[in-house]
Structure 1
Amino acid sequence: MGVPDVTQSYTRTWRAPPFRTTTPRGVPVATHRDPMGIGLAVLNRIASSSTVDRLRLRKTAERAVYEGARSGFRVAGATSRAFRRVQASGAPTRPARTPDSGVFDLEPTEDQQMIVGVVREFAAEVLRPGAPAAEDVNDTPKEVLAQTSEFGLTLLNVPESLGGLSEDRSAVTGVLVAEALAEGDMGQAVACLAPAAVATAISLWGSDAQQQTYLPALTGDDIPAAALAVAEPRPLFDPFELQTTAVRTASGYVLNGVKSGVVRGSEAELFVVAADIEGQGPRLLVVESGTEGVAIEADPSMGLRAAGLSRLVLTDVELPADAILGQGTEDDYRECIRLSRLAWAGLALGTGKAVLDYVKDYVKTRSAFGEPIAHRQAVAFMVANIAIELEGMRLVTLKAASRAEQGLDFSREVALARRLAGEYGMKIGTDGVQLLGGHGFVKEHPVERWYRDLRAVGLMEGAVLV
């Protein structure tokens, strides 16, 4: 399928089969027990979209975080919508573990094939052609964000009873979706997945009151910008040695510190922030952007520019005692870091696949000394190595995601995925630029952007979650 001219509108009709049940929000879906449940639910959201027939990117996207990046700026956090606080009425609802079938099978389920097929087509037709413009303005167009919201990205790890799509964990689906989006553009993929990271965190570890307070907005029609803020702007950052601190007070906590790599920070209405709780170690806290003491600074980056990365400055931010996410255990925090690294591995897979597909065609059509450079053994071996490295990354990433779904220990597997994605992802980007020679250094070809984006995989913490 060819890539359309994004300055022209075009029409595409999505057709979804009938459904048998509805979610608590009244959106028709199949039950999680239906083998086509999640996929059909996503297609239903797309079919009911009033804008899906017009996937047009605006010519001039709004600037968000980087408007004042050249001179530097600090602004107060975005005015948060009035999240209606709900008192706990019982135990929180958690996604169920996926049962172990006992069969080693890497073939995606019908659900996953349907979801990934839609997302991959969207990435090819919208994210890929719109990537240069999004990077130029350091922001993802609002039209693109609205479209991915209609795909139900924030619903994947939210139980049906809370307005989501499935009662079961879906880490593998999350990895496949991240891979498909990043095949179009990693920066925009991160921007689209950021609210889903917050929804997933609240679903997996939040208290009943937190779920009832925040998930209705994150699973509704007007999804707020939200960010999972873990990283800090210092060398050799360790997510388990945080300088952002939360000090206990008579009424709750006082939060101080600086977070970096915060996705769409100037627009975010809700943050899940990693901080060191005195005497307890690192934990996650829920912070609404309108809280006094929350400010946003510019944070220009080498890659991921379309994600609108910024710094979150926290100065004597007073939080209630129930701001700690859920039970606030060390195990929850460790799992958050692992699942975040797993999501970054998925993003590396998608961008690496984009590099491979591009250089395969390039070396076959680029001629030197009277023949395509693909005929040169050194060139052919370099392309083959990219494919081999991608395959290894993909196998260990999916294994880690599968174990996470089943509630098994996946610490070893995610450590391997992180290492391979960080090391080989960077190498794939470098080799892509090398294979294009002088063309790899100019913006006429997208490989230089993919190179810069892949450099982030081994450095970033938080931001995305599966």
Structure 2
Amino acid sequence: MTTVAERSMGIGLKALRQIAALEVIDRVGLRGPAERALYSVTKNGMGAAASAGRTFTIVRGSGKPERARPASPKGVFDLTPDEDQQMIVEAMKEFAAAELRPVALAADTACAAPAELLASASELGLATLGVPEELGGSAAERSAVTGVLVAEALAHGDLGLAVATLATSAVPTALGLWGDADQQATYLPAFTGDEVAVSALAILEPRPLFDPFVLETKARPADGGGYVLDGVKSLVARAADAELFLVAAELQDRGPALFLVPTSGGGVSVTAEPAMGVRAAATATVAFDGVVLPEAALLGGADQDVYAECIHRARLAWCAVAVGASQAALDYLVPYVNERVAFGEPIANRQAVAFTVSDIAIETAGMRLATWRAASRADAGKDFFREAAVARQLCVKHGAEIGSSAVQLLGGHGYTKEYPVERWYRDLRTAGVYEGALLV
């Protein structure tokens, strides 16, 4: 029997205490390997002092960047997750139910995820989902579908905590997709070692009707080489803890581009910015004031196709967490409407209630299908921008409707924090206004 690391793109790569405690390990016959790994691997420190002193020194790579190989073609149109992906989904759902759901309300109230939870999520290897195996990561194949499945499963526990646990994987995923050999050698070791760096993808800006292809954050060539970065980004997940930002900025005379910005270089300031939803992700405003960057900070060579792909992959990730939260609402509502009695019968007997729940199930299935289809096209190397736009439109429109309907079906209960639907409503609204933070 192969291990989780061998069969599941490394989601169980570290096989530490949280994954070892999941019931799925017994069902797939991996209890022995998991316990042996638990015994042999040193517990992740995640020490604040160590990360605070981390610096990123430019390292010369091998000359050729490593890329995960393209996903194997299935030959037929089939979005059914394969055996490995199904095992990943089951494990992540159990982790979400056991670890995310119980602390979701407290994290939402505190506007921060518990440190213990973030450490446990780090131990699962989430930061290395998009890093090629040759560089110490988990990705044997390039698979946006797997990323979507993981995001959906975690959001079934809580959308805000899913963003908090997945946000730091966006930068290493981007480096795996578009980084050159020097960038990979410089930055990726910080995500594949025992003390995983916190990073953030910063795209959104604090203005109405934000367009990610028309940016007010500017980068200009610096005297003597490199770039100077100025601008403000908003709702950046876990920004206060971040050691490295991937920032979208308008590069003078070249269009929007992505820049790697370590926080240790100065000129970066972070201000807490709690929002209506996704509060557990500890969102903040990040200001860049005359930040001087080397030539090596430019990711993807300011290729406009790379930038567009980044935006659409980020939008797919948001679709995935919206699907997960919508499914959580559906799974909560079905037993509720069958058990809640009014006027001598379950409220599920009323057509208005039954039809609303039915609509939620239909729209969730449609959102999921559109998201998986777009991700599968990305894995096949086909143009997926149109499909990603369709998925996003469905998730923005119906995700908000599902959150609202969930609150309505619970009546007065739906408006109180005693029940989770009001939090899901606030979180689901985020998919329509957020750009960045996540990447598949």
Q: What is the TM-score when the length of structure 2 is the normalising length?
A: 0.90
- Note closer, same or farther for the CA distance 1:44–1:203 as it changes in structure 2 (3 Å cut): closer
Tell me if the contact between 2:152 and 2:323 (Cα under 8 Å) persists in the aligned partners: yes
CA distance in 1: counterparts of 2:322 and 2:21, whole angstroms: 30
Determine which of 191, 204, 217 is the counterpart of 1:218.
Answer: 191
- In structure 2, the partner of 1:181 is 154
Give the number of the structure whose residues are more often helix, by fraction.
Answer: 2
CA displacement, residues 68-125 of structure 1 (integer Å, 9 cap, x when unaligned): xxxxxxxxxx945122421133121122221322122232111111111111001001
How far 1:53 moved relative to its partner? 5.5
SS of 1:45 mapped into structure 2: coil
CA displacement, residues 137-166 of structure 1 (integer Å, 9 cap, x when unaligned): 110111111111111112222111011123
- In structure 2, the partner of 1:304 is 278
Q: What amino acid is aligned across from residue 12 of structure 2 in structure 1?
A: L
Tell me if the contact between 1:265 and 1:309 (Cα under 8 Å) persists in the aligned partners: yes
Within the alignment, does 1:368 sit opposite 2:337 as a pair?
no
Within the alignment, does 1:164 sit opposite 2:137 as a pair?
yes
How far 1:420 moved relative to its partner? 0.3
Tell me if the contact between 1:297 and 1:311 (Cα under 8 Å) persists in the aligned partners: yes
Within the alignment, does 1:138 sit opposite 2:111 as a pair?
yes
Tell me if the contact between 1:399 and 1:413 (Cα under 8 Å) persists in the aligned partners: yes
Tell me if the contact between 1:159 and 1:165 (Cα under 8 Å) persists in the aligned partners: yes
SS of 1:455 mapped into structure 2: helix
Q: What amino acid is aligned across from residue 125 of structure 1 in structure 2?
A: A
Within the alignment, does 1:319 sit opposite 2:288 as a pair?
no
Determine which of 125, 129, 132 is the counterpart of 2:102.
Answer: 129
Determine which of 363, 376, 388 is the counterpart of 2:362.
Answer: 388
Within the alignment, does 1:232 sit opposite 2:205 as a pair?
yes
CA displacement, residues 304-347 of structure 1 (integer Å, 9 cap, x when unaligned): 01000001111111111111013221110000000000000000
What pairs up with 1:75-224 in 2 under 5 angstroms? Answer: 79=52, 81-224=54-197
How far 1:51 moved relative to its partner? 9.3
How far 1:380 moved relative to its partner? 0.3
CA distance in 1: counterparts of 2:77 and 2:283, whole angstroms: 39
Tell me if the contact between 1:79 and 1:289 (Cα under 8 Å) persists in the aligned partners: no
Determine which of 361, 376, 399 is the counterpart of 2:373.
Answer: 399
RMSD (Å), alpha carbons: 1.7
Tell me if the contact between 1:186 and 1:453 (Cα under 8 Å) persists in the aligned partners: yes
What pairs up with 1:243-392 in 2 under 5 angstroms? Answer: 243-250=216-223, 251-392=225-366
SS of 2:78 mapped into structure 1: coil
How far 1:249 moved relative to its partner? 1.4
How far 1:29 moved relative to its partner? 4.4
- Note closer, same or farther for the CA distance 1:44–1:79 as it changes in structure 2 (3 Å cut): closer
CA distance in 2: counterparts of 1:328 and 1:167, whole angstroms: 27
Q: What amino acid is aligned across from residue 178 of structure 2 in structure 1?
A: W
CA distance in 2: counterparts of 1:444 and 1:249, whole angstroms: 54
Determine which of 45, 70, 87 is the counterpart of 2:14.
Answer: 45
- In structure 1, the partner of 2:38 is none
CA distance in 2: counterparts of 1:80 and 1:334, whole angstroms: 34
How far 1:367 moved relative to its partner? 1.4
CA distance in 2: counterparts of 1:118 and 1:51, whole angstroms: 7
Q: What amino acid is aligned across from residue 365 of structure 1 in structure 2?
A: E
Tell me if the contact between 1:80 and 1:270 (Cα under 8 Å) persists in the aligned partners: no
Identity %: 53
Give structure 2 stretches of 5+ with no counterpart.
23-50
SS of 1:144 mapped into structure 2: helix
Q: What amino acid is aligned across from residue 165 of structure 2 in structure 1?
A: C
Tell me if the contact between 1:52 and 1:147 (Cα under 8 Å) persists in the aligned partners: no
How far 1:132 moved relative to its partner? 0.8
Tell me if the contact between 2:13 and 2:138 (Cα under 8 Å) persists in the aligned partners: no
- Note closer, same or farther for the CA distance 1:118–1:450 as it changes in structure 2 (3 Å cut): same
Q: What amino acid is aligned across from residue 284 of structure 2 in structure 1?
A: S
Tell me if the contact between 2:338 and 2:346 (Cα under 8 Å) persists in the aligned partners: yes
CA distance in 2: counterparts of 1:390 and 1:50, whole angstroms: 29
CA distance in 2: counterparts of 1:422 and 1:327, whole angstroms: 32
Tell me if the contact between 1:227 and 1:271 (Cα under 8 Å) persists in the aligned partners: yes
SS of 2:354 mapped into structure 1: helix
- Note closer, same or farther for the CA distance 1:111–1:245 as it changes in structure 2 (3 Å cut): same
SS of 2:173 mapped into structure 1: helix
Q: What amino acid is aligned across from residue 274 of structure 2 in structure 1?
A: P
How far 1:278 moved relative to its partner? 0.7
SS of 2:287 mapped into structure 1: strand
Q: What is the TM-score when the length of structure 1 is the normalising length?
A: 0.85
How far 1:177 moved relative to its partner? 0.4
- In structure 1, the partner of 2:47 is none
Give structure 1 stretches of 5+ with no counterpart.
1-16, 20-27, 31-35, 55-77
Tell me if the contact between 2:12 and 2:19 (Cα under 8 Å) persists in the aligned partners: no
SS of 1:290 mapped into structure 2: helix
CA distance in 1: counterparts of 2:208 and 2:133, whole angstroms: 42
SS of 1:456 mapped into structure 2: helix
Tell me if the contact between 1:80 and 1:269 (Cα under 8 Å) persists in the aligned partners: no
Q: What amino acid is aligned across from residue 381 of structure 1 in structure 2?
A: F
